């Protein structure tokens, strides 16, 4: 699949659209999902332009999973939840809605039901406060 340089994540990477940043290094960016399935839902994207995991270089995949793991540990610590849901979808048929590879880190407590994907925009101040909690738990 051909990469669309005008997708929302490409625009975030170029600084054309804002995000609530949790972590950034030379290969990846982690930021709060503005329509979270649970409080503390973070997205991790590689800076490399790739639509799916299958399009991503091996180096990009290693960097993305390294950051995903780091964020998952911080989210679990920050929220004190029992579980972490990590998701990565490839292609529209699999439910991918943004054509730039990304990982979801979603905190999950026993007995809770996740909100619908991309259904309701969260309060920006709440997202910023949550990002600060998660950042404080990054090692």
Confidence class for position 74, pLDDT limits 50, 70, 90: very high
Q: What was the pLDDT predicted at 59?
A: 98
Structural domain range at position 78: 8-135
Q: What is the pLDDT of residues 86-113, one digit of tens each?
A: 999 999 999 999 999 999 999 998 888 8
Catalytic (active-site) positions: 102
Tokens describing residue 97: 């809605």
Q: What average pLDDT is seen over the chain? A: 96
Q: Is residue 3 situated within a structural domain?
A: no
Mean predicted confidence (pLDDT) in 33-51 = 97
Q: Write the CATH number for 63.
A: 3.30.428.10
* Spatial CB neighbours of 138, under 8 Å, sequence gap ≥ 6: 22, 23, 70, 71, 74
Share of the chain above pLDDT 90, in %: 91
Q: Is residue 49 situated within a structural domain?
A: yes
Confidence class for position 137, pLDDT limits 50, 70, 90: very high
Mean predicted confidence (pLDDT) in 14-31 = 98
The yes-or-no verdict on residue 116 having pLDDT over 90 is: no
Q: Is residue 2 situated within a structural domain?
A: no
DSSP 8-class letter at 93: G
**Number of domains into which the chain is organized:** 1
**Model pTM score:** 0.96
Confidence class for position 118, pLDDT limits 50, 70, 90: confident
Rg (CA), the chain: 14
Q: Is residue 1 situated within a structural domain?
A: no
Ramachandran region, residue 91 (left: φ > 0; alpha: ψ -120 to 50; beta: rest):
left
């Amino acid at each position: 699949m051909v990469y669309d340089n005008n997708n929302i994540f490409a625009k975030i990477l170029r600084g054309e659209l804002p995000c609530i940043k949790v972590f950034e290094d030379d290969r990846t960016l982690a930021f709060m999902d503005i329509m979270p399935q649970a409080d503390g839902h973070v997205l991790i994207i590689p800076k490399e332009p790739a639509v799916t995991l299958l399009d991503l270089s091996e180096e990009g995949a290693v960097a993305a999973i390294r950051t995903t793991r780091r964020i998952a540990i911080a989210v679990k610590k920050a929220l004190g939840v029992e579980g972490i849901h990590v998701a990565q979808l490839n292609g529209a048929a699999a439910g991918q809605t943004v054509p730039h590879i990304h990982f979801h880190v979603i905190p999950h407590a026993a007995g809770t039901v996740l909100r619908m994907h991309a259904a309701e925009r969260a309060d920006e101040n709440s997202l910023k406060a949550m990002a600060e909690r998660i950042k404080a738990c990054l090692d």
